[in-house]
Structure 1
Amino acid sequence: MGLFGKQLANVVEWEEYRDDIIFWKWTNREIKKGSRLIIRPGQDAIFMYNGVIEGIFKEEGSFDIESDIIPFLSTLKGFKFGFNSGMRAEVLFVNTKEFTVKWGTKNPISIPTQSAATPGGMPIRAFGTFTFKVDDYVALIDKIAGVKQIYKVDDVKERVVAVLDQLLMKWISKEGKDMFNLQANAYEIANGIKEDLDMQICKLGLTITDFMISSFSYPEEIQKMQTKAASQSMVGDMNKYSQMAMADSLEKGGGRSNIAGDMMSMQMGMAIGQQMMNNMNQANTASGMPQAGTAQTGNGPKFCPECGTPVNGAKFCPNCGKKLIG
């Protein structure tokens, strides 16, 4: 009875599960008779003996190792627990979910350009996300799990970021991308980077499932130039701009000093001035005087040759009625 008392059954499980851990290894313990294996949702359990995969178990639940697990192991299917002996094996718990990682360039990447103004290249930063998951258990164990107890998302991120600058430079420079409109080509650039990254990361038993570029960032001087160019392009069509400004002013309400109000005031002033000019011309036409804004025509005298009265180019003298022109 004392012998059985010393042989305490244990539970083989991932005791401290975390979302940022890719795998965790249960090791350096002896599996006793009556022990159980617990597999939680989103986990796979890989039994290893002497560094070799004995069996992979993906169904979640609680299992008796002697009756439910050992019969399915490759070389240990005939293992029998003794009174004082247990089974020494390692169990690798793998997180099967898809991991999402944010990335960003640590320093600006100098992209070569043809412009003499930037002989050292255009310094550009980029930001985005990528997703990956475990794809090949054999490669994972061979390259990483064989020597590591635990493997984190940050370990993968470090590997990706180490080669990301080179890949960004490669795909941005490819086929002469427009340096000032990289966002328009972000999808194509991201797809090229995804393929190259997947070729490198697959050696570790992982696969890149998606790679996205959220934005490109230019130097402050370039951003100011882009903002100014956009503003000038909009102001170039004054008619459209004034209509948009007036609509914006009406939407926000009156009584505010803004561009829309100034544009409306200017247009109203021009309309009033034009109306006043038209009224003056109509009055002058009725009185026989020249219209405002028009030059006098003809070579009539300034004074009546008969009585000397100033006539200012009129056809008849207003004093004696003498015909002066025609």
Structure 2
Amino acid sequence: MGIFDFIKGQFIEVIEWLDDTGSMVYRFPVYDNAIKMGAKLVVRESQAAVFVNEGQIADVFGPGTYTLSTQNMPVLTALKSWKYGFNSPFKADVYFVSTRNFTQLKWGTTNPVIMRDAEFGIVRLRGFGNYALKVNDPAVFLKEIFGTQQDFSAENVAGYLKSVIVSGVSDLLGESKIPVIDLAASYDELSRAATDKLQSHFMAMGLWLTALTIENLSLPEEVEKAIDRRSSMGVVGNLDQYMKYQTAEALREAANNPADGAAGTGIGLGAGMAMGQAMSQMMRQGEQQQAAGNAGGQVSGSDATGASERAAQVGGAAPAPAGDGGAAAGKKFCSECGQPLAPGAKFCSSCGTKV
């Protein structure tokens, strides 16, 4: 083989990229070898080939098979100042860009996002989810993101994109004014709104945000506990029925654990019964006060006999009913509810008023 055959063998005649690395960008290894004018360029589906001359982006080729010439490389021809019909080898950097959809990329908040909620005040939210993207403009992407690296994966740009997404989602949550208690029911709507909001940022980098999913927005533990308490109050509903249910549950637990749970169950049962009695007494007092008020209104329009009876009750002595004057003469009645008082009592046994 002669020297000219050896030199001819160093010229690159086929330029292609068999994408099996998962990279977004691959730099074809031209190095010091020159590309032969008339070489074959193979660009597969979901690929684009970009020719760069001394750091300046020149011609971009979509899917297809090309025979390189001055006719289909107009920008590079102008940059090189080639004359029409130039047939000598040339040097240029060739980058293959994958235009397929890159999915299952993760985003998440490193620090909690502070937002104002109408019901709970200032709260801190954490969130995470997935997103997908593809290269929309290979030339812009190479210029803005890639630089001069040998190859490039979606993970290389994930850190920056994550900050862009978190910023956009945080801004969207503040603008939406959705109560934190209703956020879980709005994940789909928020995901679509976030995609639309962030699209212009991705396009400025030559990318297209094909999907964004909000998987979870979590609240601090103390806020979640407050929501749980509020839910429990709503579930309780009828307090009387709830106390009966609690009592039955306590008895069942005591039956299942006669040794270990007897003391604790007794305390809990006693507290529940005391609460029930206290509330029952409060309701009874309210009814008695209402009845006393109604009775007072009736007395105010009565005759002198009714007035004397009211005066006797206020004074502590009740008038003797007809036919039983001796037995009833010593009885006293409560000035608050009108119920008879036990002999020597210091408090009314019905309403608790001090005598």
Query: TM-score band, normalised by the shorter chain?
Result: 0.5 to 0.7
Q: CA deviation at 1:127?
A: 1.4
Q: How many residues align?
A: 226
Q: Which has the higher helix share?
A: 2
Distance 1:45 1:175 in 2: 42
TM-superposition CA deviations, 1:182-236 (whole Å, max 9, x none): 1222233323322332211211111212222111111223334444555565565
Confirm or deny that 1:14 pairs with 2:17: yes
Matched residue, 1:31: 34
Distance 1:104 1:78 in 2: 55
Q: CA deviation at 1:49?
A: 3.2
Matched residue, 1:91: 94
Distance 2:137 2:216 in 1: 32
Note closer, same or farther for the CA distance 1:47–1:124 as it changes in structure 2 (3 Å cut).
same
Give the letter aligned to residue 93 of structure 1.
Answer: F
Describe the SS at the equivalent of 1:80.
Answer: coil
Report if the CA contact (8 A) 1:98-1:131 is conserved: yes
Give the letter aligned to residue 48 of structure 2.
Answer: D
Alignment of 1:68-217 (within 5 A): 68-70=67-69, 71-74=71-74, 75=77, 78-81=85-88, 86-100=89-103, 101-114=105-118, 121-217=122-218
Q: CA deviation at 1:147?
A: 4.0
Distance 1:169 1:55 in 2: 37
TM-score of the aligned structures, taking structure 1 as reference length? 0.59
Describe the SS at the equivalent of 2:68.
Answer: helix
TM-score of the aligned structures, taking structure 2 as reference length? 0.55
Matched residue, 2:61: 56
Matched residue, 2:285: none
Report if the CA contact (8 A) 2:107-2:165 is conserved: no
Describe the SS at the equivalent of 2:17.
Answer: coil
Note closer, same or farther for the CA distance 1:72–1:166 as it changes in structure 2 (3 Å cut).
closer
Distance 2:130 2:203 in 1: 18
What CA RMSD, in Å, does the superposition of the two structures yield over aligned residues? 3.1
Give the letter aligned to residue 47 of structure 1.
Answer: F
Describe the SS at the equivalent of 2:117.
Answer: coil
Q: CA deviation at 1:48?
A: 3.2
Give the letter aligned to residue 24 of structure 2.
Answer: I
Alignment of 1:264-275 (within 5 A): none
Note closer, same or farther for the CA distance 1:28–1:203 as it changes in structure 2 (3 Å cut).
farther
Q: More displaced, 146-155 or 194-203?
A: 146-155
* Aligned pair partner of 1:43 in 19, 22, 47: 47
Q: CA deviation at 1:73?
A: 1.6
Report if the CA contact (8 A) 1:111-1:124 is conserved: yes
Note closer, same or farther for the CA distance 1:235–1:114 as it changes in structure 2 (3 Å cut).
closer
Matched residue, 1:287: none
Q: CA deviation at 1:32?
A: 4.3
Identity of aligned residues (%): 24
Report if the CA contact (8 A) 1:23-1:94 is conserved: yes
Note closer, same or farther for the CA distance 1:168–1:145 as it changes in structure 2 (3 Å cut).
closer
Give the letter aligned to residue 73 of structure 1.
Answer: M
TM-superposition CA deviations, 1:16-50 (whole Å, max 9, x none): 6422x221222534334485434344322223334
Note closer, same or farther for the CA distance 1:160–1:211 as it changes in structure 2 (3 Å cut).
same
Describe the SS at the equivalent of 1:128.
Answer: strand
Note closer, same or farther for the CA distance 1:233–1:78 as it changes in structure 2 (3 Å cut).
farther
Distance 1:7 1:225 in 2: 78
Q: CA deviation at 1:122?
A: 0.8
Confirm or deny that 1:222 pairs with 2:223: yes
**Structure 2 residues not aligned, in runs of 5+:** 240-255, 257-355
Distance 2:68 2:146 in 1: 21
Q: CA deviation at 1:15?
A: 5.9
**Structure 1 residues not aligned, in runs of 5+:** 239-256, 258-326
Would you identify which runs of 4 or more consecutive aligned residues in structure 1 move more than 6 Å? none
Describe the SS at the equivalent of 1:112.
Answer: strand
Report if the CA contact (8 A) 1:160-1:197 is conserved: no
Describe the SS at the equivalent of 1:180.
Answer: helix
Report if the CA contact (8 A) 1:45-1:93 is conserved: yes
